[in-house]
A = this chain, B = another copy of it.
Amino acid sequence: MAPRAEARQRLLEATVRTLAAEGYGGTTARSIAKTGGFAPGVIYYHFEDLEALLVAALRHTSQARRDRYEEALGSCTDATELLARLRELYAEDMRDQGHIDAVQELFTASATSPRLREELLAHVESWSEFAATAVHRLVGGTALAGVVPSRELGMIAVAMFLGIQTLTHLDGDRSRVESLFSTAEPVAILWDTFAGRNPTPEK
């Protein structure tokens, strides 16, 4: 690989690793450079500023991650198989990052940086698209089969993931949050409740 591209790559990966290890608060120009084995100055040789590096790192991991998931979508024919594969991928991602998602950390910074906010929006949009078709594929024989993949469907999935990850992140002990996954029915109720539909009082 050309040395230029290699250094860039190393910086991107250092950024992601730093985000996962130190959180957004601990992700400074110096700490990123250190993780990558560089002096602080390199960042400004390869990127316009720190913000640009963060944006590039987000785009990089978002893209890479989506490719892996998309691949699963293509290679699994059966719903059960697909589900298992997706779980596997998710578990890998979490393990690799010490159970803290670098992308999640970046949401933190969206308030301060418009550029990052825009990139996050694109990330979310992209994932909602993926999620929509994935869900569509996964609900073969369910009571709710036949639901069409829509933007809304995807966004719902993404929103749920964000919420769960936020709680996971708060609560050092992840088991408590994970136990949530065992209850399914209430969700539909909640959605109805705040969706503007009255809970049909007598039916």
Q: Give A residues with C-beta under 8 Å from B.
A: 23-26, 78-80, 83, 105, 107-112, 117, 120-121, 124, 135, 138-144, 147, 150, 152-153, 155-164, 166-167, 169-171, 177, 179-203
Contact = CB atoms under 8 A, between A and B. Distances in A.
Given A142-B192, A144-B186, A199-B140, A155 B167 contact: yes
Contacts of A166: 107, 159, 162-163, 166
Q: Name the prevailing secondary structure of the A interface residues.
A: helix
B141 A202 contact: yes
A140 B192 CA distance: 13
A202 B156 CA distance: 25
A146 to B, nearest CB: 10
Nearest to A149: B186
Given A23-B112, A187-B188, 18 more contacts: A24-B111, A25-B112, A83-B199, A108-B111, A135-B193, A139-B199, A140-B199, A140-B201, A141-B201, A155-B167, A156-B183, A159-B180, A160-B191, A181-B194, A181-B195, A184-B195, A185-B188, A188-B188
